Amino acid sequence: MRRTLLCTLCMLMCMALSACTAAPAASPDPASIGSSSQSLTGTCTPDPDETDTLPDVSRDIPAYQPDVETPLSYEYDGAVLTANGLRHYSLQGYSIVYDPNLFTRQGWENGDAYLISEGNYLSVNRLNGMDAVTLRQGLILQEEIPDLGQQVQVGSGTYTAHTLVVSPQDGIYRQFWILELGPNSSLLVEQSYVMEDPNATQYQAIQKAMLDTLTLE
């Protein structure tokens, strides 16, 4: 994987702070992203003189709701398949249906990752203190995306999102969807799959089906 979730999230969170320096840390092995939710959380330390000007990132945390059994249907190889899915209600203010028999869910302070194997995952992150335009511009620079992407409709509520496709690196396809939750809050969805994986077509179909179930709570 060209960039780990840790690297991307650290960069985006630091952009939200006007004077922020990333604490030095070794890049984790990509295979370890599912081993510890703590390894997915970056550390940014603002300059003490700038703390009074940091954006207000306070928000209401939704009440805990247990996962609910929900079928997940997707098209694959000319047929419609249905998995025994779970709708996960995240503390980040969204819910999504995933197949627990295929995906391992890992949660951390600002998001969740639904992991199949190295390079194959769907992640959802909430970035408070960052509007959708700033997030999009940061991703274009960080990932060296050659175009500005386009607006699309995603999720069960047909939400407006801005999508960006990363030029494939090391045989990995990655795509982002950015949803604006408010003036200073965005939701970032990332799809990633290994193109040469023998199950790549199926993984892509399931990930897109998951995205169709995304609901803002």
Query: Token pair of 46, please?
Result: 């603002």
Query: Token pair of 110, please?
Result: 């600002």
As a whole number, mean pLDDT of residues 20-40 equals 38
User: Exposed, middle or buried by CB within 10 Å (0-12, 13-18, 19+), for 141?
Assistant: exposed
The pLDDT assigned to 11 comes to: 53
Find how far residue 166's CA is from the centre of its chain.
14
As a whole number, mean pLDDT of residues 68-76 equals 97
**Statement: residue 15 has pLDDT above 60:** no
Give 118-145 pLDDT, tens digit per residue: 999 999 999 999 999 999 999 999 999 9
**Statement: residue 34 has pLDDT above 50:** no
The pLDDT assigned to 117 comes to: 97
Nearest-angstrom CA–CA distance, 20 and 22: 7
As a whole number, mean pLDDT of residues 58-74 equals 85
Mean pLDDT, the chain, whole residue set: 81
The pLDDT assigned to 211 comes to: 98
**What is the three-class DSSP state of 201?**
helix
**Statement: residue 49 has pLDDT above 50:** no
> Where residue 20 falls among pLDDT bands split at 50, 70, 90?
very low
The pLDDT assigned to 64 comes to: 86
The pLDDT assigned to 120 comes to: 98
As a whole number, mean pLDDT of residues 191-198 equals 97
As a whole number, mean pLDDT of residues 7-27 equals 46
**What is the three-class DSSP state of 196?**
coil
| DSSP run (H or E) holding 211 | helix 200-212
**Statement: residue 23 has pLDDT above 50:** no
Q: What is the pTM of this model?
A: 0.75
Nearest-angstrom CA–CA distance, 62 and 58: 13
Strand arrangement, sheet containing 79-89: 68-76, 79-89, 94-98, 215-216
Cβ–Cβ < 8 Å for 197, 184: no
Tell me the fold of 63-216. Answer: Jelly Rolls (2.60.120)
Cβ–Cβ < 8 Å for 114, 105: yes
User: Exposed, middle or buried by CB within 10 Å (0-12, 13-18, 19+), for 56?
Assistant: exposed
Cβ–Cβ < 8 Å for 188, 51: no
